[in-house]
Amino acid sequence: MPKKIAILGSTGSIGISALKVVKKLSPSLQVVGLTAYRNAKELAQQVRAFRPKMAAILDWKFFPELKALTRGTSTQILAGPEGLVAVAGESGAQMVLSAIVGAAGLKPTLTAIQKGKDIALANKETMVMAGEVVTKAAKRSGSRILPVDSEHCAVFQCLNGASPKDVHKILLTASGGPFRNLDRSKFSGITRAQALKHPTWRMGPKITIDSATLMNKGLEVIEAHYLFNAPYPKIDIVIHPESIIHSMVEFVDGSVLAQLGTTDMQIPIQYAFTHPKRADSPVERLDMTKVGRLHFERPDRVKFPCVGLAYEAGRKGGTYPAVLNAANEVAVHRFLEGKIKFTAIPRIIEKTLSRYRSLTTGGLDGILWADRWAREQASKVN
Ligand code: NAD
Ligand code: MG
């Protein structure tokens, strides 16, 4: 019997890599659900190629186009946020790949968890904003959350079921982004095109900007906290420009385990799909003799204030990570639109966080309220 998979965000960078994995591993994997934001053409092509039970487009404006382009297929075509939730919960999937970018992924991902489906988690923003809600819901329903983020997939493989008390440190590696060696005095002149050029990974625009500010690593620290039940002092960031070691775990006895590989997201996506088994893959092999040398350094927290902001919000807990995430999403969006400077991104997040007075301890309603509040603030401050 094939394993049935729904892919939320199938037209994105992760979604497209995931469909390559499915194609390669078919017939042991089968796609039963697909979703996209607005790209009806690409989604229709995917529907024709993979024949899922359901497909949904978020923006109703593109529903007629998607309907027309998929005429003659047996796929049920849906739209709107309810359409995405239906694909997550009702498409008959055993596993849901959560690969929407940003907070928009929260509701469909949570729905899949509540229905007891296993989650292959790429959408880190969901874990950052609602880590407690999500992990509690997974415990209740028996849903397993398998990390797709390359660092967390690495940590997951290194841990291999080890008890948290045996872990001394989780060491998340980071490429350092395109501005690792750029002098801080030049940061205010950084353009959109420069920030969109990641040195080692090809990804969607939001995570690429997050990698340039190092907020991506900050979000990943919070993601690791919830995924691995690790206190913040046990999670460190190591800059590793080659992106060959995807992360490491240092155990209490002094042993350090690392997971290595080429920079191809098909590897962690496939691992989440096949876990606990492994399957052959045609990805480029890692040749250590070609790599030659690996380098490591500490992150520069003055040049990259987002790291400290993320640790602070993570430590405060409650709804602070949701505020951090929302302010970051708004700031990145404003930067991508050419409305603010690169250096305004951390400033907007910091100002939003400093104005926040948490009235709730969490819970989904509190999180959604904090998310809305932070978006409004972050779109006003400069
Ligand atoms: P992307 O921008 O390439 O794709 C995003 C997908 O989500 C698209 O299918 C898009 O149609 C859909 N989408 C966007 N906004 C939406 C909305 N408001 N509602 C519904 N659907 C929406 O992004 P990506 O690079 O594939 O990243 C997806 C997620 O995976 C992010 O959370 C990112 O942090 C995480 N991630 C990505 C990579 C990578 O290599 N790309 C690596 C690790 C983690
Ligand atoms: Mg990552």
Q: What would the pLDDT profile of 132-183 be if each residue is shown by its tens digit?
A: 999 999 999 999 999 999 999 999 999 999 999 999 999 999 999 999 999 9
Mean pLDDT of 217-242: 98
Mean pLDDT computed over 238-265: 98
pLDDT at residue 382, rounded to an integer: 85
Ligand 1 pocket: which of 45, 173, 203, 221 to mutate (most atoms <8 Å of CB)?
203
Tokens found for residue 205: 């625009």
Average pLDDT over residues 259-276: 98
C-alpha distances out from residue 117 to 92, 95, 110, Å: 9, 5, 10
Q: What ligand has the least distance to the C-alpha of 220?
A: 2
CA of 70 to the centre of ligand 2 (A): 34
What are the residue ranges of helices labelled H in 26-123?
40-50, 63-69, 80-90, 106-114
What distance in Å separates the CA atoms of residue 74 and residue 358, rounded to the nearest whole number? 48
Residue 246 has pLDDT above 90, yes or no: yes
Could you tell me whether strands 245-251 and 95-98 are parallel, antiparallel, or unpaired per DSSP bridges?
Answer: unpaired
Q: What is the pLDDT of residue 211?
A: 98
Is 87's C-beta closer than 6 angstroms to any atom of ligand 1? no
Q: Element (H or E) spanning 133, and its range? A: helix 124-141
DSSP 297: B
At residue 69 the predicted structure's pLDDT band, cuts being 50, 70 and 90, is: very high
Percentage above 90 pLDDT, the chain: 98
Nearest to 54 by CA among 112, 120, 12: 112
Closest CA to 297 of 256, 241, 251: 241
Give the pTM: 0.98
Locate 23 and state its tokens. 């194609």
% of the chain beyond a pLDDT of 70:
99
Q: Best of 7, 14, 34, 325 to mutate for ligand 1, by most ligand atoms within 8 A of CB?
A: 14
Neighbouring residues of 194: CB distance < 8 A, sequence distance ≥ 6: 178, 179
Residue 358: predicted pLDDT:
84
What residue owns the CA closest to ligand 1's atom 32? Answer: 123
Average pLDDT of span 39-61? 98
Query: Distance between CA atoms of 335 and 339, rounded to whole angstroms?
Result: 6
CA distances from 77 to 7, 157, 186, 215, 336 (A): 15, 37, 49, 36, 31
